[in-house]
Amino acid sequence: MSQPRIPAAEPSWGKRADLDVLNRDIPRIDGPDKVTGRAVYTHDVRIPGMLYAALLRHPVPRALVESIDVSAAEALPGVVHVLQVKEAGDELRYSGDDSVLAVVSAETPEAARDGVRAIVVKAENLEPVVDTERAKEADAPLVNYRRRADSNVAGSRARGDEEKVKGAIDASAKSVEVSVEIPTQHHVCLETHGHVIHPKGEGERSVVYASTQMVSQHGGQLVRPLGLENGQGDKVHVLTPHMGGGFGSKFGAGVEGMLCARIARETGRPVHLMLSRADEFAMGGNRSGSKQTLKLAGDADGKFTAIHVVAERHGGQGGGAFAGAPYQYEVPEVYLDAKSVKTAADSNRAMRAPGHPQASFGMETAVDMLAYETGVDPLTIRKRNLAAKMQRRQLDRVAAEIGWDEHPNKLAPGVPENGIGVGIGFGVCRWTPGGRRARCNVTVRPDGSVVSATATQDLGTGARTYVAAIVAEELGLEVGQVTARIGDSDLPPNVASGGSVTTGSSAPAIKDAAHNAREALEALLEDVLGAEVGDYVWKAGRVHAVGDPERSLAWKEVCALLRQPLEVSGQFQQSLYEGRILGAQAAKVEVDTMTGRVKVLKMVAIQDQGLPLNRMALRSQINGGMIQALSYGLLEQRVFDKEDGFLLSDNLQLYKIAGAQEMPEMVSIIDDSEERDSVCGMAEAPIIPGQSAIANAIYNACGVRMTRMPFTPDNVLTAIHGSV
Amino acid sequence: MADPNQSAPEGRDPHSGGPALSRRSFLKGAGGVAAAGGALSAQAQAQSAEAATAVQTMRGTVEVTLQINGQARTLRCEPRTTLLSALRDRLEPALTGAKQVCDIGSCGACTVIIDGKPAYSCLTLAVQCRGKEVTTVEGLGSPEAMSDVQEAFCAKDGMMCGFCTPGFVVATHAALDRNPEADLEELKYELSGNICRCGTYPHVFDAARAAQAARHDGGEGK
């Protein structure tokens, strides 16, 4: 076979008008598997001889272990293996993965849980320190376990000239001050964290099924617990065929993965260790809480002059996340003092736009207050203080869609009639999705079959579908003619899915591979159709030379020219990727001031991004962002018992997330106004401003400023009447 | 998968047929955990001591024959085994379409249809289902021959990660069968026993409406 020529042209996404597959509604290619139960998630993996493992966690964060007796558990029918994780004399230092005392592995899930219940633990419980106010007190036990730490307050960093900023605020025509409180949120992946690990003997590779956001990088951490040496990562084969949500919580194997690997090694049997729902709430990750006090000042026209922000990040053992100040809006004079308050709760993890929804809530609240204070309406004041023209236009669009023009309460909140008020609020978002090195292989076989392969994972974003669709577009095929292979660490390496980098990294690599495949095929066509590489049109399953549509070949005829499978690879190309995306949202709510119940009537989001690969999946993502923000705003709150340290909200009844009945009318608008010919991810952006828009809408409806999330009836009534 | 009971330790007949009685109380173990919980321990231990004499625990396995997706499937399980666990962990080959998410009847991911009515299989014992018709998501259609609702979920993108999807598909079938004329608000009510985290609700509603409309246009659904 002749050598493929050096590419004649750089790969490009082409003009939108010319696209046949991309930038349209593409049904997910794994849809039929998902809707029929055929899709196998890690939770669903069944291997002959597999053990089911269950964790015993100490129920409070801090304790001294006096004894752990596992003998009764070991004697139970069906129990095969008990791994004691903590010993007498151990100090348990925080809630979550440090609370794991033992793991019981058994023939059935019930027997494993029996084993957990049969373990007798004696321990002296210590003051839990789960409350940030308590953690800040001078006599609080030190739960900041960093070396040389002498306080639970850490990472304090001030930026800006405080005196100058205070002076600027005093000199301004208008100013507002507000303190907001944001509780800890959970990811609530419906598939909990976990693994099924199948250990293999000498010369064979262990197989790890993992619910992970980083299939390419996941195996490395399991090398040691599997009894392998560092650098033997190639002896671990990681598979993530499907995964039930991640949202930032599933980077790395976690303690549960290490333990699963160790038990698999010790028993020589496949082990199924998925966290229970209670485990998931205790150790599966969270979005850090926050307290912020903001002073925002502006001139008589509502142009911001100065901002003073003191913020706390509440990330348990983690540092917490806070996206800074001023958040998104232009403010000339800025003072920010942000610090972390450590508690004995488990560490926060990345969660869809880490730190941004918290920063949005504080800032958008202050912006909204200054609007009413100044007598400039909330829409105008936002447009007046945003740098990007696009975002000002986006605000106008969502305002039109939500019915702002005909809404009566523009300069002052409404007065409820019969206790019921209706209001509108706004918020804005932006994100800089990354793009990093990734690779993809495309294989074209003489029989016409095409495989596009890259070691990415589909968290529910639709990644699997564009792995096929991008290749189909390039080769003039239908999506169903290309097989997508993902979720396998043997495939060409790809990035961990965080910060919306997956699409920005994968799509250019897939495009590059598809482009290389097309040019290699065109090199074969020179003798048949007479044109040079780059001078062909691939459409509707056929190819012809530019300007000569009469002479064409069908796809199968092209592939029949191959004597052996054509395998080409592609990699990330900066020219195919672009970051920085903008958006705006509006919410319309109904507030019952008698009961404190908030009903969101309508939410509108407009979101810009690069070239949309799959418009339907994109709308799903925008909806998802709004819904998670609605749920965050109205319902979600991790609750610890401050006295004893029990995690009270460790199931889906006590930690509520939004359901069908909370759903408002939703409008997801894809912003096509700036036709960028590059691709990037976008999922973080639309989750950022929803809860802020809802809080602002509550004020607009009835004049009640919600400074504490979530906006549950009790918090709303407290805001109206004060604490009882 | 091997019969889990084959490798049960000595001293126990895994095929004893009927439930064996044991003086062991499972609350005893719970007392052990509570003993770790400082202030709670005294009360909990007193309760468990009382319970240990008052409660007898059945143990052992029983043979159960269930009508699942039109087929008689026989399996061995304990009386306490939930239908969800029987489907996922006892059947060979397993039916893993119904998902275990909350395990306490608050999410709907394990929804199946029992004698025509939707039910949470995590709150239903397998032994309760003897003589009843159980339909799981696998029984409604296959990727090669999807039901009208399954096709509508694909067409309207009524899924993202897909973990809640089988439950929503089953619940939507049950809702449309029960209330073929349901308007949007009624559909929301019918589907309020299911939770999705990715935020697929609007597209799930679209899918349900599309399947409903197709039934009106083309007669009964599959």
651-680 in A: which are within 8 Å (CB) of B? 651-653, 657-661, 663, 666, 668
The pLDDT value given to residue A126: 98
Which residues constitute the domain of residue A104? 48-125
Which residues constitute the domain of residue B35? 14-59
Q: Are A429 and A686 in contact (CB under 8 A)?
A: yes
Q: Are A473 and A20 in contact (CB under 8 A)?
A: yes
CB–CB contact B199 A623 (8 Å): yes
Contacting residues of B for A107, CB less than 8 Å apart: 4-5, 7-8
> Quick one: average pLDDT of A455-461?
97
Nearest to B163 among A31, A244, A624 (CB): A244
Beta strands in A394-485 (DSSP E): 420-431, 439-444, 450-453, 482-485
Position A11 in a domain: no
Contacting residues of B for A248, CB less than 8 Å apart: none
pLDDT per residue as tens digits for the range A354-404:
999 999 999 999 999 999 999 999 999 999 999 999 999 999 999 999 999
pLDDT per residue as tens digits for the range A608-662:
988 999 999 999 999 999 999 999 999 999 999 999 999 999 999 999 999 999 9
Contacting residues of A for B106, CB less than 8 Å apart: 651-653
Residues A588 and A539 in one domain: no
- Of the ranges A184-198, A217-231, A433-447, which one carries the lowest mean pLDDT score? A217-231
Element spanning B62, H or E:
strand B62-68
Residues B84 and B115 in one domain: yes
Dist CA A527 CA A516 (whole Å): 19
pLDDT per residue as tens digits for the range A122-136:
999 999 999 999 999
The pLDDT value given to residue B31: 36
Work out the angle at residue A692's Cα, subtended by the Cα atoms of residues A687 and A698, and round it to the nearest 5 degrees: 135
Position B51 in a domain: yes
Nearest to A37 among B4, B59, B166 (CB): B166
Work out the angle at residue A567's Cα, subtended by the Cα atoms of residues A564 and A568, and round it to the nearest 5 degrees: 145
CATH number, residue A571: 3.30.365.10
The pLDDT value given to residue A674: 81
CB–CB contact A190 B197 (8 Å): yes
Contacting residues of B for A43, CB less than 8 Å apart: 96, 99-100
Residues A65 and A33 in one domain: no
Residues A418 and A329 in one domain: yes
Taking the CA of residue A290 and the nearest CA in chain B, the distance in Å comes to 23
pLDDT per residue as tens digits for the range A479-526:
999 999 999 999 999 999 998 999 999 999 999 999 999 999 999 999
CB–CB contact B159 A77 (8 Å): no
Position B199 in a domain: yes
pLDDT per residue as tens digits for the range A592-623:
999 999 999 999 999 998 899 999 999 999 99
Taking the CA of residue A352 and the nearest CA in chain B, the distance in Å comes to 11
Taking the CA of residue A44 and the nearest CA in chain B, the distance in Å comes to 6
CB–CB contact B197 A628 (8 Å): yes
Residues A585 and A712 in one domain: yes
Position A657 in a domain: yes
CATH number, residue B117: 3.10.20.30
Dist CA A461 CA A497 (whole Å): 10
Position B8 in a domain: no
Position A147 in a domain: no
Residues B146 and B212 in one domain: yes
Answer positive or negative: Cα dihedral of A447, A450, A453, A459: negative
Residues B160 and B194 in one domain: yes
Q: Are B93 and B71 in contact (CB under 8 A)?
A: no
CB–CB contact B154 A35 (8 Å): yes
Dist CA A67 CA B36 (whole Å): 10
The pLDDT value given to residue B53: 56
520-539 in A: which are within 8 Å (CB) of B? none
Nearest to B7 among A107, A245, A661 (CB): A107
Question: CB-side exposure of A532: number of CA atoms within 13 Å?
Answer: 5
CATH number, residue B208: 1.10.150.120
The pLDDT value given to residue A194: 98
Domain boundary among A525, A555, A576: A576
- ipTM value, please give it: 0.96
Domain boundary among A83, A104, A125: A125
Q: Give chain A's mean pLDDT.
A: 96
